Structure 1
Amino acid sequence: MAEMKIHQAPTCKGIRWQVTLLFLFSWFCHSVSLQLHYTIVEELRKNSVIANIATDLGLDVKDLMPRRFRIVSRVSEKYFSVNLVNGNVYVKERIDREKICKATAICILTFDAVVENPLNVFSVKIEIQDINDNPPMFFHDTITLEIIESTTPGTHLVLQNAEDPDIGINAVQTYKLSDNSYFALNEKTSSDGSKIPELVLIKSLDRETQTIHELILTAFDGGNPVKTGTAIIRVIVTDVNDNMPVFTEELYKVSISENTPINSTVLAVNATDDDEGTNAQISYSFSKTSENSLHTSMFSIHTINGEIRTKSNLDFEISENFEISVQAKDGGGYVAHCKVLIHIIDENDNAPEISITSLSSPILENSTLGTVIALVEVHDQDSGENGEVDCQIMGSVPFQLVSSTSRYYRIISSSVLDREKVSWYNITILANDRGSPQMHSRKVIRLDISDVNDNPPLFLKSTYVAYLPENNIPGASIYKIQASDLDLGDNAKVIYSISNSNTEDFPVSSFFSINIETGVLYSQRSFDYEQHKVFQMEIMARDGGSPTLTNNATLFIYITDQNDNAPKILYPPSESSVSAVFETVPFASEPGLLITKVVAVDADSGHNSLLSYHFVQISEQFPFNINEHTGEIRVLRAIQEKDILRHKAVVMVKDNGDPHLSVTVTLSLVIGDHFQQIVPKLNNQFSDGEPPSKMQMYLVISLALISLLFILTVVLVILSKCKEPKPPSDFGAISKNLYSQVDPMILSKFQNGTLTLPYSYNVCVALDSSESDFTLMKVNQNIPIDSLIDTDDSGFVSGDIKDTLSPSTSLQMMFDDIL
């Protein structure tokens, strides 16, 4: 302990202060307790400087505000304040020692000085010294005494003492009685050290001579300057009553519990009088003093038996002791006095009080272990074990209660916090005292956990698949991808983007765009299934925290096919220079015989590319049918002489899309075994329905064309003989595989819808028109025609059909002109 004297301060009017600094060093829970002791006098002016507490505590004045320096007290905060700019402690309100401590010898006000970062609690005691600011006062301005005339000189009459709220030397020190012939003043010291004035009779009284004697009693205190108080003593001389009441005890002491019920007997005082009759009849009452005026509301006394009872509920925390003056008065007017000391025994009737003097909420979820959450003060108004308190945190929470001093606890974090698991805590503090029965109280603190960007955005899946129909509208939304973030605020705000992955050497951003806030994907253009079938891209989700966290997901977009391509006919050629394709059918064809096959493809896929074949606008007697699925045209029934020799068939190829798309091709099917038979029959058939003039014209044109064709054929034969002499092939020796099935691998090479069949023929015409014939001289085998036409079910085709199919392709123009 070190003692330091602080010299006179300008605002203290020359009052010398003594400051005692008590350093108690302890390292319990990283806290240091420092105790300051100041001594001041009462009645200092408001804003008087007591001391510089910052200097005395060794604190930098600049740190007072950042460290939240403050004083904590239930009583002292009313009288003292601290200036956080200069660190001085000021008088906040007039201090009346008598009001605060009454007659207590040592009057001390205490408060705790609290600073944070780091947390420290300092205990400060300020002793209030008494000054002579109160004069002595008598409760009654006039003291009336009755004395019988037969009272012998030397008799002592106890007088009411003067009261002075001051203590020590400033209290009542002496009394003085005005000059008179009958009475003198004597001062008696009681057991508690107070002086009681006694009036001493020095000369016999004569009621007949003087009935009333008035004296002036003056009380002096020991202050500087001395203060006085006076009272008039009025002595009434009565008839003879020569014995005074006498109490069995001068001082009565009793202890009772603060839980004593109302109207309970505390004790009974007793006084006796040796007189007889009315002079021996004693009545009890409380002496009329300022102190008793307060106690009469708590206790009552029976005037006859002197029994003192409780009138109100007692409270140890309000008052621990009661000092009551009791007087006994006999019938002759003599009065005797005694004192009753009642001590109140404390009971455990107050639960502990929990208050939060400092709370840090919210705290970051990544706060380090041991972070101070709050400073808790615990107080119990009871005393002894009843006022000793134990604290704990209820439940399973990641916090710990650590004692700093006898009344202060710190709540610190004891494990890692995670806002995504628990965003706030209710910390329940339970305080139990050590009384019997035990009393407790609870305090619930809500602590919010603030977010830290410790969670990246999360997709529900690592891979997403979307389907987009082709021919879509550019700019339309096609898919929504979404990621969630467990954080809050900007830490959970997700921004989407497409990574720079390429598709077919083109950046994905040229095909798609994404809304950075909603994750909605938009198409930048219209897609064609036949060009692009699938896109792969990386979608990146980035949060708005610092540092930024990201996550990726793969998105596959499949373009689905739409029926936007009509079928294309590969065979027969649709871009032929002739008006229709010519096919010959022998008379002896049996039902089911394969005539030809329509071959078509569709650029679409799936159901949209499934093709079906149909005849359009045919008569009921039409002798052919077409396979709906393969396009094969076969003989439906046996051919008769009366049947029409030339049939025009329109074949429609239709896909399976919605809506259907189709294409048509026209075939000319001519019935005849040989070419020589076809022309006359056709002429006869047409002559039946045509005028003679037209028939003649047709014959002339036919002859001219035949002649021209004959000349050209002769020239071609001569030229071919000169270059490459080979024996002519028989007209009927065409390969039996002429009508074989078309190879699907070949069809893919003719996506433009055409199939070139480069065949060369030599034609021989006899002098006799009836013996004219066509002979295949040379066949270019670059692309075999038998690879485009399926055979019939038997695997071979009759020779007549072979003979008629090959020349029909080369002579298509001629037959169209003839017909």
Structure 2
Amino acid sequence: MRKDSVIANIADDLGLDIKQLSSRKLRIVSRTAEKYFNVDNGNLYIKDRIDRETMCGTEDLCYLTFDAVVENHLTVFRVRVEIQDINDNPPTFVPDVFTLETIELTSPGTRFALRNAEDPDIGSNSVQSYKLSDNQYFTLSEDRNLDGSTFLELVLEKPLDREKQNIHKLTLTAMDGGKPMRSGTALIRVIVTDANDNFPVFTQSVYKVSVNENTPVNTTIITVNSTDMDEGVNGQVTYSFSKTSGNVHYTGTFRINPVTGDIKINDKLDFELTKNYELSVQAKDGGDLISHCKVLIEVLDENDNAPEMSITSLSSPIPEDSAVGTMIALIEVHDKDSGKNGEVDCKLSEDVPFDLVLSSDNYYRIVTATTMDREKVASYDIIILATDRGSPPLSSWRTITLEILDVNDNPPLFIRNTYVSYVPENNLPGSSIYTIQASDPDTGDNAKIYYSMAISDTEDQPATSYLSINLKTGVIYAQRSFDYEQHKEFHIQINARDNGSPSLTSNTTLLIHIVDQNDNAPKILYPSPDSGGLAAFEMVPLDSEEGSLITKVVAIDPDSGHNAWLSYHFLHLSEPSYFAITPHTGEIRTSRVFQEKDVLNHKIVVMVKDNGHPSLSSTVTLNLLIANNFQQVVPRFTEQVTEENPQSNLQLYLIIALGLISLLFIITVLLVVISKCKKSEPVPMFSNLSSSLYPQVDPRILSQYESGTMTFPYSYNVCVGFDPSESDFSYMKPNQDVPVENLIDADYSGLGNGNGKEALPAPDALQFLIFTSERRCLT
């Protein structure tokens, strides 16, 4: 058939929908058929001219077999195309000139063997009949051999006469049965000689032998034998291969001993190349008489070829989330041997999550058997082992490397749920304080991690003004300096997000503790240092015993721990020392019994220092007045004041006098009111609290102090006025005639006439402020 001829519609024969052929990718897979066929739109076309005789020789049936593969929804079909013979070859004789020698005494009826014509075609297209040209001496005889071939002989019909004709030229014509018929001719030259009138005769006209393909070279596989009734030189027979079209290809494979007729292997046999040999052997006597026989050699297959594998389709890499049953590769297996030697079994190496599925006689699919996890195994080396069924079996193997493509199936991972960091206060702004890292077992962009943080805003500043985090490295920076007294810790939620699609996140908690530094000096609460530079005054009874509590210095430190441990010390203490201070409590006590001659006014400086490194301190100045009553205070105090410069100490003098008189008056009224407190209704604690004894204390400071390491200061009983609006203030003239003693010794219940408007004598340098109001007692 000519090129591009349509053989058949293979899609219809296979039951395929022609509309789906392009998407399903129908194609031909074969080692030989691809040279001769192709498929287009479901039709099977001739790609190149097919010569049946070249492909199959003289075999009765000739087939070309190939696989039709449909890739999508993989299906493999076995297709066999029969190649039918046409009469395209005429019969031929090799050689086309036969030379026969015969003695002139040859008797009629003698037969001369002739070589048959050869026709590569088969059946009726092969040689069907012979015809000999007209002559008076010879006729043609056609007999059938046991193998069905024609045994052609030239028969002498009448005696030859060399003197009349020594050479006879005959034309032998071979005709096949094709339509139209083809024919071939050969020239037969019969040379008439004298004397030698007997031909060599073979014991068999056809010799058959079977030999294994692995038979060693030089092995004798068969011996032909012929006899000649003649004597002498005419009876000596020599053997050789006749030159025929078949023998031309085999003369190098075999050799024959010219004397013994032994046929030996001259070259290695290969069943896969040639399965059968047909040799023509001639025996020639000394008188040049020749006879012929055939030697048929069958080569038996040996398992000398290991299976061969080829990968026709491979999908690598595959995503790790590929479904079970995903096809990885399509493997073609082929063995050149035949029979059991050519039957192949395949299997995969152990410990791989794949299955080998047989698709057709020669094709296997490798599919996934379980789900993949790239984080556990990033690639697989799949070893396919093919073993034939020969004896002994031969094997071959092929390795396929399959890469697993990463899928973002793992979120970033922190080692701990909570991280703790300690950062000292007063740090440098912009410095790194902690590095937090998460890991992601994925790869590429799926493993790139970006960090962010979320913290609650503080009272005075947004959280982002204190901390920041590097997006890529996870390094946390302090945006500003920390103050332990304002913020003792930060709770931060760190978020880690990978760069996959979609991205995955995880979080952890970072607890940042601010470590206290000794950056706050002690703060004195009592006596209040905020008195405009004036010292506080305390009255000490003259008859105080040794060790009596006079007052207490109360201080706190906003720091914590060792930095808030306070100690109290005297500075600039007068000699001799009348007072002592407890280092840990700040209590000031008398250190001796006072005498009348002792100095009335003592000025002491108390230093409060903390236990930090370096230590910080604060000071406060106290004026201690030693007297049992105000009458003792005024003369001595006046004497001391007059000795000083009145211009420079006038303001201090007035303030001291006012404080002492107010204190004495409050103490006096306190005794009067105590008896009435029991009848009074409870008043809310510290409502409209007003006292000149103790300064107002910031509640925040007290709350810090309560949470510190020191105990709360001692409590004192204080009598104060709860309604300042009811107070009356008046200045008395210095020339009124009320003696001072009346003020000191007045009745506690009324303090004189109780209205506070009677005149009181006072030093010229003092004006006394009389404070009258309804009083209540508060503890």
Query: Fold-level match, TM-score > 0.5?
Result: yes
Match of 2:617 in 1: 662
Is the counterpart of residue 239 in structure 1 residue 171 in structure 2? no
- For residues 592-643 of structure 1, what are the alpha-carbon distances to aligned partners after superposition, in whole Å with 9 as ceiling and x for unaligned? 8877654321112223323344566889998977665445567899999999
Amino acid aligned to 2:72: N
Aligned equivalents of 1:540 and 1:707: distance in 2? 68
Question: Which is further off, 253-262 or 657-666?
Answer: 657-666
Question: Which is further off, 666-675 or 70-79?
Answer: 666-675
- For residues 296-336 of structure 1, what are the alpha-carbon distances to aligned partners after superposition, in whole Å with 9 as ceiling and x for unaligned? 22221111111111122222222222221111111111111
Aligned partner (choices 24, 32, 56) of residue 67 of structure 1: 24
Aligned partner (choices 58, 63, 67) of residue 15 of structure 2: 58
The 3 A distance-change label for structure 1 pair 251 and 531 is: same
Aligned equivalents of 2:388 and 2:662: distance in 1? 135
CA deviation after TM superposition for structure 1 residue 288, in Å: 0.9
Aligned partner (choices 269, 278, 281) of residue 233 of structure 2: 278
3-state DSSP class of the match of 1:663? strand
CA deviation after TM superposition for structure 1 residue 248, in Å: 0.9
- For residues 473-496 of structure 1, what are the alpha-carbon distances to aligned partners after superposition, in whole Å with 9 as ceiling and x for unaligned? 566554444444444555555555
Correspondences of 1:2-81 after superposition (within 5 Å) = 44-81=1-38
CA deviation after TM superposition for structure 1 residue 103, in Å: 1.3
The 3 A distance-change label for structure 1 pair 247 and 415 is: same
Does structure 1 retain, via aligned residues, the 8 Å contact 2:558–2:701?
no
Is the counterpart of residue 120 in structure 1 residue 52 in structure 2? no
Match of 2:678 in 1: none
Is the counterpart of residue 400 in structure 1 residue 400 in structure 2? no
Aligned equivalents of 1:704 and 1:56: distance in 2? 129
3-state DSSP class of the match of 2:24? coil
CA deviation after TM superposition for structure 1 residue 158, in Å: 1.9
Aligned equivalents of 2:76 and 2:662: distance in 1? 129
The number of residues matched between the two structures is: 713
Question: Which is further off, 425-434 or 101-110?
Answer: 425-434
Does structure 1 retain, via aligned residues, the 8 Å contact 2:430–2:478?
yes
Does structure 1 retain, via aligned residues, the 8 Å contact 2:451–2:471?
yes
Amino acid aligned to 2:702: S
CA deviation after TM superposition for structure 1 residue 697, in Å: 7.1
CA deviation after TM superposition for structure 1 residue 113, in Å: 0.6
Amino acid aligned to 2:17: D
Match of 1:575 in 2: 530
3-state DSSP class of the match of 2:532? coil
Aligned partner (choices 273, 293, 298) of residue 343 of structure 1: 298
CA deviation after TM superposition for structure 1 residue 95, in Å: 1.6
- For residues 54-109 of structure 1, what are the alpha-carbon distances to aligned partners after superposition, in whole Å with 9 as ceiling and x for unaligned? 233222334223223221212212221222xx222222223221111111121110
Match of 2:381 in 1: 426
Is the counterpart of residue 169 in structure 1 residue 124 in structure 2? yes
Match of 2:765 in 1: none
Aligned partner (choices 248, 251, 258) of residue 296 of structure 1: 251
Correspondences of 1:597-608 after superposition (within 5 Å) = 597-608=552-563
3-state DSSP class of the match of 1:66? helix
- For residues 754-780 of structure 1, what are the alpha-carbon distances to aligned partners after superposition, in whole Å with 9 as ceiling and x for unaligned? 9999999xxxx9x9x9x999899999x
Match of 1:144 in 2: 99
Aligned equivalents of 1:712 and 1:501: distance in 2? 50
CA deviation after TM superposition for structure 1 residue 246, in Å: 0.9
The 3 A distance-change label for structure 1 pair 439 and 681 is: same
Aligned equivalents of 1:713 and 1:399: distance in 2? 103
CA deviation after TM superposition for structure 1 residue 712, in Å: 12
- For residues 523-578 of structure 1, what are the alpha-carbon distances to aligned partners after superposition, in whole Å with 9 as ceiling and x for unaligned? 56554333333343544445555666544434433333333322212233322235
3-state DSSP class of the match of 1:56? helix
Aligned equivalents of 1:549 and 1:712: distance in 2? 74
3-state DSSP class of the match of 1:111? strand
Aligned equivalents of 1:317 and 1:287: distance in 2? 26
The 3 A distance-change label for structure 1 pair 374 and 462 is: same
CA deviation after TM superposition for structure 1 residue 508, in Å: 5.7
Match of 1:19 in 2: none
Aligned partner (choices 32, 35, 57) of residue 102 of structure 1: 57
The 3 A distance-change label for structure 1 pair 196 and 642 is: farther
CA deviation after TM superposition for structure 1 residue 269, in Å: 1.0
Aligned-residue RMSD, C-alpha: 5.3
Aligned equivalents of 1:719 and 1:120: distance in 2? 114
CA deviation after TM superposition for structure 1 residue 111, in Å: 0.4
Aligned equivalents of 1:671 and 1:714: distance in 2? 15
- For residues 697-736 of structure 1, what are the alpha-carbon distances to aligned partners after superposition, in whole Å with 9 as ceiling and x for unaligned? 7599999998999999999999999x99969xxxxxxxxx
Does structure 1 retain, via aligned residues, the 8 Å contact 2:671–2:748?
no
Aligned equivalents of 1:143 and 1:711: distance in 2? 168
Is the counterpart of residue 748 in structure 1 residue 702 in structure 2? yes
The 3 A distance-change label for structure 1 pair 203 and 609 is: same
Amino acid aligned to 2:31: R
Is the counterpart of residue 531 in structure 1 residue 450 in structure 2? no
Does structure 2 retain, via aligned residues, the 8 Å contact 1:475–1:522?
yes
Q: TM-score, normalised by structure 2?
A: 0.75
Does structure 2 retain, via aligned residues, the 8 Å contact 1:498–1:509?
no
Aligned partner (choices 319, 331, 354) of residue 274 of structure 2: 319
- For residues 577-597 of structure 1, what are the alpha-carbon distances to aligned partners after superposition, in whole Å with 9 as ceiling and x for unaligned? 355456799999999887765
Aligned equivalents of 1:578 and 1:776: distance in 2? 34
The 3 A distance-change label for structure 1 pair 509 and 719 is: closer
Aligned partner (choices 198, 204, 208) of residue 153 of structure 2: 198
The 3 A distance-change label for structure 1 pair 581 and 194 is: same
Is the counterpart of residue 91 in structure 1 residue 78 in structure 2? no
Does structure 2 retain, via aligned residues, the 8 Å contact 1:501–1:538?
no
Aligned equivalents of 2:570 and 2:664: distance in 1? 40
CA deviation after TM superposition for structure 1 residue 346, in Å: 2.0
Aligned equivalents of 1:513 and 1:46: distance in 2? 78
Aligned partner (choices 287, 310, 316) of residue 332 of structure 1: 287
Does structure 2 retain, via aligned residues, the 8 Å contact 1:675–1:773?
no
For structure 2, list consecutive stretches of 5 or more residues without a partner in the other structure.
674-692, 706-712, 722-733, 750-767, 770-779
Correspondences of 1:285-684 after superposition (within 5 Å) = 285-472=240-427, 477-489=432-444, 491-498=446-453, 512=467, 514=469, 517-522=472-477, 526-543=481-498, 549-580=504-535, 597-613=552-568, 629-631=584-586, 651-666=606-621
The 3 A distance-change label for structure 1 pair 534 and 186 is: same
Aligned equivalents of 2:345 and 2:210: distance in 1? 29
Amino acid aligned to 2:122: I
Match of 1:691 in 2: none
Match of 2:686 in 1: none
CA deviation after TM superposition for structure 1 residue 226, in Å: 4.0
Aligned equivalents of 1:64 and 1:488: distance in 2? 39
Match of 1:795 in 2: none
Does structure 1 retain, via aligned residues, the 8 Å contact 2:449–2:496?
yes
Question: Which is further off, 698-707 or 475-484?
Answer: 698-707
The 3 A distance-change label for structure 1 pair 226 and 553 is: same
Match of 1:82 in 2: 39
Question: Which is further off, 379-388 or 591-600?
Answer: 591-600
CA deviation after TM superposition for structure 1 residue 371, in Å: 4.1
Does structure 2 retain, via aligned residues, the 8 Å contact 1:503–1:536?
no
Does structure 1 retain, via aligned residues, the 8 Å contact 2:455–2:491?
no
3-state DSSP class of the match of 2:38? strand
CA deviation after TM superposition for structure 1 residue 271, in Å: 0.8
CA deviation after TM superposition for structure 1 residue 412, in Å: 3.8
3-state DSSP class of the match of 1:106? coil
- For residues 647-667 of structure 1, what are the alpha-carbon distances to aligned partners after superposition, in whole Å with 9 as ceiling and x for unaligned? 876554333445544333445
Does structure 1 retain, via aligned residues, the 8 Å contact 2:417–2:508?
yes
Does structure 2 retain, via aligned residues, the 8 Å contact 1:455–1:487?
yes
Amino acid aligned to 1:65: S
Aligned equivalents of 2:564 and 2:659: distance in 1? 45
Aligned equivalents of 1:724 and 1:302: distance in 2? 158
